[in-house]
Amino acid sequence: MDIDPRRLRVLHEVARRGGVMRAAEALHLTPSAVSQQLAQLEREVGLALIDRSQRSVSLTPAGRVLAGYAERVEEELLEARRELTRFTERLAGPVRIAAFPTVIKHMLVPALRALAARHPRIVPTIHEIYGQPALQELRHGAVDVLITEQDMGLPALTQPSLSTRLLYVDEYRIVLPPGLPDPPRTVADLARLPWVAGEPDQACGQALERLAGLHGFEPRKVHVITEFGPTLALVAAGHGVAIVPALALLDVPEGEVRVSELRDVGARRLDAVTRVSRTRSGEPDPVQAVVIAAIEEATAALQAPLSGRLRATTEPV
């Protein structure tokens, strides 16, 4: 039985992603090309691997068995890559990073500069994706390193198949319009103010709900916004107050918003999440390791400019 390993990869992607269309997208092939590869693989093994009796594509029992072996082949190739890296001591290859705008701008861009200087053969690509879709892409192998955010009031992400590394604890700040005549002096004062709120599944949206529940008020959400740029623009124009992480304030021109000194708002955690290695050595992918190290270095370098920005924009109470 002569099996082309490239066709095993196609079968693996179909099994992992649950269909030909999604596998084709991941492999950068047309659905027709994926179907042809599967048909050729069936001829090679002499067995039906795809159940075509239903509208949705599914694997036959033989197909599931062979897909399991295909996954092991992928892991063996990854292990070989690690071992060869140790021999050559030169890191190379692609790494796919998923994150959201503030992290991309302030952490990933500096990290990419450092990587280009130290490891020019590493080829990083960045995807702006977050939340559950990003976690799904990580589990499926379409992403190698995922930067996540989560309110510190919630339990940290723990899943057996994922490894989580804390990058940064980003304190929240309450931002106010520059012309607000009577700024809040306590959290209770916030109950009377309109809010530019974050989405409920985002860290700042979670922080507002936690703060409101803790202090017994129902926030009046006049706007619900995903990105920090529009949130801060609405606050600057006097349309409400908002909770934003300190990192977002690096983008704000001096004097555009005021930052309250109220500090009992909490923080969000930024984590680097990768898939747990299932190879014999159990060691992490060396390319991913140096990428995460570069992101950590870029994050540490933010401390001084961030402290300066907060001192310049904080509103005394």
Q: Tell me the pLDDT band of 100, cut-offs 50, 70 and 90.
A: very high
Give the per-residue SS3 of the chain: CCCCHHHHHHHHHHHHHCCHHHHHHHHCCCHHHHHHHHHHHHHHHCCCCEECCCCCCEECHHHHHHHHHHHHHHHHHHHHHHHHHHHHCCCCEEEEEEECHHHHHHHHHHHHHHHHHHCCCEEEEEEECCCHHHHHHHHHCCCCEEEEEEECCCCCCCCCCEEEEEEEEEEEEEEECCCCCCCCCCHHHHHHCEEEEECCCCHHHHHHHHHHHHHCCCCEEEEEECCHHHHHHHHHCCCCEEEEEHHHHHHCCCCCCEEECCCCCCEEEEEEEEECCCCCCCCCCHHHHHHHHHHHHHHHCCHHHHHHHHHHHEECC
The per-residue pLDDT for 317 is 43
Average pLDDT over residues 288-305: 89
Task: Between 298 and 307, name the one with better pLDDT.
Answer: 298
Mean pLDDT of 99-124: 93
Does the pLDDT value for residue 295 go beyond 80?
A: yes
pLDDT, tens only, 125-180: 999 988 888 988 888 888 999 999 988 888 777 777 788 899 999 999 999 999 88
pLDDT attached to residue 77: 66
pLDDT, position 182: 81
pLDDT band at 88 (very low <50, low <70, confident <90, very high): low
Above pLDDT 70, what percent of the chain?
86
Task: Calculate the average pLDDT of the chain.
Answer: 84
Whether the per-residue pLDDT at 286 is higher than 50: the answer is yes
pLDDT band at 184, cuts 50/70/90?
confident
Q: Would the pLDDT of 46 be above 90?
A: no
pLDDT at 245: 93
The listed range with the strongest mean pLDDT (18-32, 182-196, 230-244) is 230-244
